Structure 1
Amino acid sequence: MTANPTRRQFIKASGATAATVSLSQIAWSESKNDQITLAILGLNGRGRYLAAQFSPLDGVEIAAIADPDSRLLNERAMEIEVLSGKKPDTVQDFRTLLDRKDIDAVVVATPDHWHALATIWACEASKDVYVEKPASHNLLEGKMMIEAAKRNNRVVQVGTQRRSAPFLAEAKEYIESGKLGDIGMARVWYMSNRPSIGKKNDSPTPEGVDYDLWLGPAPKSPFNENRFHYEWHWNWDYGTGELGNNGIHGLDMVRALLDIDLPNRVTSGGGLRMYDDDRIAPDIQISTWEYPNLSVVWEHRQRGGGTLYGKSFGVALYGSEEILVSGGSDWEVHRGKEVETHKGNNGMGEHVLNFLDCVRTRKTPNASIEQGHLSTSLCHTGNIAYRLRANLEFDPEKQQFTGNDDANALLGRDYRSPYTPPEGLV
């Protein structure tokens, strides 16, 4: 990207579509009192994308951005200026922004291990929050996030955007018509062809990176490129594997479509079978959550690609009469060899507008922290079953495993001082 990117160049580089940017044309006209001032926390990947969603909207100002990697700040600030006409303030430590009275809400697009603390601290500072998926790094954090939002009367929207997609509402209405018949199984998959991350030695922290801040609540460790930008996904100290990275979207769709909460039993298998590199989270994983009358199955592989029903990512609900399939922006009904297709979009634009509307009206957002926590908990329980190689019984009311102390120990984490949750949360 050039030093002074044009609006067109940034839209292309950030992955924003013309349809996304045109949301500024359909957003309602706001009075000065209705303007929402945002700060974006985390700017390397998803944060950059979300900046492109929020920046062009009428009634929205991105006043500040924060990232421990200061090398990102100036370029991202210029990109936001191209879209919005105003350059935001830049800081490394987002905590310095929480006391600013002019900031109404924050967008949390950090690595997973920072999602909960950033959200909780923002709620405690009377800020509303849009937090990327997965909602949390562990199950207990999700419960703390719910409590923090409730006790501070905060709007918290989780970035599972298909909750706002019209196609999902259409598919749900079709399911409720009974035409699928009895649904006994749901399947979610993600088949990719990720390159190997290789093996890298620890190295000096790059100039401009506050690595202690980046680590936050995670254990102290030397800098390593394979535990930093993006590759943190595959290390349990910071990420939640492919299940938390992409599985969360499909599992959330299943929960929304079938009105289910948490399971009674979970199993998971797989391993590191595709590459010999620095990954710790599996490159192949199959997880199953058992409900009284339903089995939910997740599968992913990170090499070789492939599709099911012609889709590399998707959800299938198997009814006694028909099968409903979605690739995340559409839905299809399969009746033998006959396929009925309904097009749509992934709901990103609608999701952003829903969050802004709820900030103004104090309504419950489409992907509330309560719903985001339940969907994310499927990811956490699946990963725990994988890590322990265990068939685990789960109590959905207590949200803990039955008769397995090792599994329950993985429901939370030890926090490295001073990066700790406030006292008094669940």
Structure 2
Amino acid sequence: MKNSRRDFVKKAMIGTAAVSFGGILPGFSAKSYSRILGSNDRLMISCMGLNARGFAVGTNFANQPDCEVVYASDVDKRAADKFIDAVSKIQTKAPKAAPDFRRTLEDKDVDILMVAAPDHWHATAAIMAVQAGKHVYLEKPASHSPAEGEMIVEASRKYNRKIQMGNQRRSWPNSVGAIAEIKAGAIGRPYLAKTWYTNNRASIGIGKKVEVPSWLDYELWQGPAPRRPYQDNLIHYNWHWFWNWGTGEGPNNGTHTVDLARWGLGVDFPVKVNSSGGRFRYQDDWETPDTQIMNMQFADNKMISWEGRSCNNQPIEGGGAGVMWYGEKGSILIGDSTSYKVFDITGKLLRHVKGDPVVTDARSLSTPSQQLDAIHLRNFFDGIRTGAKLNSEIAEGHKSTLLLQLGNIAQRTGRTLDINPENGHILRDKQASKLWTREYHKGWELKV
């Protein structure tokens, strides 16, 4: 039985890790390899949103030998220039600057739109892209609201385009190995998964209403969101903590580990969701919780919890981000990017399965290892080229994003939500149901 389980886990991890990485071909870089491949053999990519995470993913795309980044779109000219300069050193041709990504969708040669813009843009950009015949690599969270998530899934099906959500841990070998252990019965029936994310974010202060900087197209940045005056503590990152544009720490970073928890437990939609927390650390403009505990209960006696601490990074189980599954016979922990631990029912460590060492902080997901991310990109390419199953196809990405969105709705209404386990919809709560969708700026209403 042990050999059978070990063989199963080994095959699962090898199958994931064996995909090709950008630049791993001996003696070849993406730039040299692209000279061999004809343009018809390469996937052409337009990148939207080029700060932090977008820069990391976009340059990783450029590092893949069988694709080419052809457009760089950002409302901040400085970010676009920095990205173009970086990519021009990786591939033979520099991407073209395209401040408005919508123009790039008109190019019939573009195969993929990468979306790493703020959350309020995710659904709008993704739906526009598939309507234009493009595949989409969509950074997490899938959407700003549950209704948008459903619409993205519908659009993907209607226009027959692939959408991969960028919760790249679905492709990391240690995640695949841990899930394989669970499925092989290493801890018996799993019934509880605890997840967490910690950081030590500073106060964002009280913003001042000031003139829009010359380097920023604030009107385009707002896009589908209702208009608000510009303030000096909003862009580039702090929009995460304002409900008009962001979704808080849960969908921002909790999606990664909650997605793994849901995968390991084998659950989809919950029956009850509650949340406690608030903005506890500082008194400033930050609207979403900086301290939060969500609980999602499922119909078959299974449960997921997520603890978020944006302003106190005391590790949990030795790490700043992770997931622990509890079963009838033991537990499994993922607390870093390259390994997992298996414990018996008494808490005794049975084995620590380690992969290749990678220097990355699990809580800093804007620039994780390019090799680990590349596995997710390669799977996306395989899905487009061969129809291979996507590791984070948008329907799965929506389900995981939805859990955190429901937690936020429970937090904002101050009560436990009853949920339809068939589709994730809120039951018998008109106030909470109003938060299922969002308000749009006139003329930006979503249509599939």
> TM-score with structure 1 length normalisation?
0.91
8 Å Cα contact 1:266/1:288 also seen in 2: yes
- 2:275 equivalent in structure 1: 268
For 2:439 and 2:137, locate their aligned partners in 1 and report how far apart those are by CA, in whole Å: 25
Aligned partner (choices 398, 412, 417) of residue 392 of structure 1:
417
8 Å Cα contact 1:24/1:56 also seen in 2: no
1:341 aligns with 2:352: yes
1:301 aligns with 2:309: yes
For 2:415 and 2:208, locate their aligned partners in 1 and report how far apart those are by CA, in whole Å: 32
1:409 aligns with 2:434: yes
8 Å Cα contact 2:47/2:69 also seen in 1: yes
8 Å Cα contact 1:254/1:315 also seen in 2: yes
Amino acid at match of 1:146: V
Deviations 1:95-143 (A, max 9, x none): 1111111111110000011000000000000000000001111111111
Secondary structure at the residue paired with 2:233?
helix
Q: Which runs of 5+ in 2 are unaligned?
A: 1-19, 359-368
8 Å Cα contact 1:34/1:360 also seen in 2: no
8 Å Cα contact 1:24/1:58 also seen in 2: no
Amino acid at match of 1:22: G
Deviations 1:31-54 (A, max 9, x none): 542210000000112110112211
Amino acid at match of 1:357: D
8 Å Cα contact 2:130/2:159 also seen in 1: yes
**Cα distance change of structure 1 residues 389 and 291 upon mapping to structure 2, 3 Å threshold:** same
**Once the 2 structures are TM-superposed, how far is the Cα of residue 320 of structure 1 from its aligned partner?**
2.3
- 1:45 equivalent in structure 2: 52
1:74 aligns with 2:85: no
For 1:312 and 1:220, locate their aligned partners in 2 and report how far apart those are by CA, in whole Å: 35
**Cα distance change of structure 1 residues 23 and 202 upon mapping to structure 2, 3 Å threshold:** farther
8 Å Cα contact 2:142/2:149 also seen in 1: yes
Amino acid at match of 2:434: A
- 1:205 equivalent in structure 2: 212
Secondary structure at the residue paired with 2:439?
coil
- 2:263 equivalent in structure 1: 256
1:383 aligns with 2:408: yes
Secondary structure at the residue paired with 2:221?
helix
Amino acid at match of 1:116: A
**Once the 2 structures are TM-superposed, how far is the Cα of residue 177 of structure 1 from its aligned partner?**
2.3
Map residues 275-354 of structure 1 onto 2, 5 A cutoff.
Answer: 275-292=282-299, 293-329=301-337, 330-335=339-344, 336-344=347-355, 347-354=372-379
Amino acid at match of 2:184: S
- 1:108 equivalent in structure 2: 115
Secondary structure at the residue paired with 1:58?
coil
Paired positions, count: 405
The more displaced of 194-203 and 404-413 is 194-203
- 1:130 equivalent in structure 2: 137
Q: Which runs of 5+ in 1 are unaligned?
A: 1-18
**Once the 2 structures are TM-superposed, how far is the Cα of residue 210 of structure 1 from its aligned partner?**
1.3
- 1:16 equivalent in structure 2: none
Deviations 1:146-169 (A, max 9, x none): 111111110110001111122222
The more displaced of 338-347 and 168-177 is 338-347
Map residues 11-30 of structure 1 onto 2, 5 A cutoff.
Answer: 22-23=23-24, 30=37
8 Å Cα contact 1:155/1:364 also seen in 2: no
RMSD: 1.9
**Cα distance change of structure 1 residues 362 and 225 upon mapping to structure 2, 3 Å threshold:** farther
**Once the 2 structures are TM-superposed, how far is the Cα of residue 23 of structure 1 from its aligned partner?**
4.3
**Once the 2 structures are TM-superposed, how far is the Cα of residue 206 of structure 1 from its aligned partner?**
0.4
8 Å Cα contact 2:129/2:136 also seen in 1: yes
8 Å Cα contact 2:191/2:265 also seen in 1: no
**Cα distance change of structure 1 residues 78 and 246 upon mapping to structure 2, 3 Å threshold:** same
Secondary structure at the residue paired with 1:137?
coil
For 1:30 and 1:239, locate their aligned partners in 2 and report how far apart those are by CA, in whole Å: 40
Secondary structure at the residue paired with 1:145?
helix
- 2:381 equivalent in structure 1: 356
8 Å Cα contact 1:158/1:368 also seen in 2: yes
The more displaced of 153-162 and 163-172 is 163-172
For 1:23 and 1:209, locate their aligned partners in 2 and report how far apart those are by CA, in whole Å: 37
8 Å Cα contact 2:73/2:100 also seen in 1: yes
1:215 aligns with 2:222: yes
1:159 aligns with 2:166: yes
For 2:78 and 2:175, locate their aligned partners in 1 and report how far apart those are by CA, in whole Å: 39
For 2:116 and 2:217, locate their aligned partners in 1 and report how far apart those are by CA, in whole Å: 17
> TM-score with structure 2 length normalisation?
0.87
Aligned partner (choices 93, 99, 104) of residue 97 of structure 1:
104
The more displaced of 87-96 and 330-339 is 330-339
- 1:232 equivalent in structure 2: 239
- 1:10 equivalent in structure 2: none
Amino acid at match of 1:406: Q
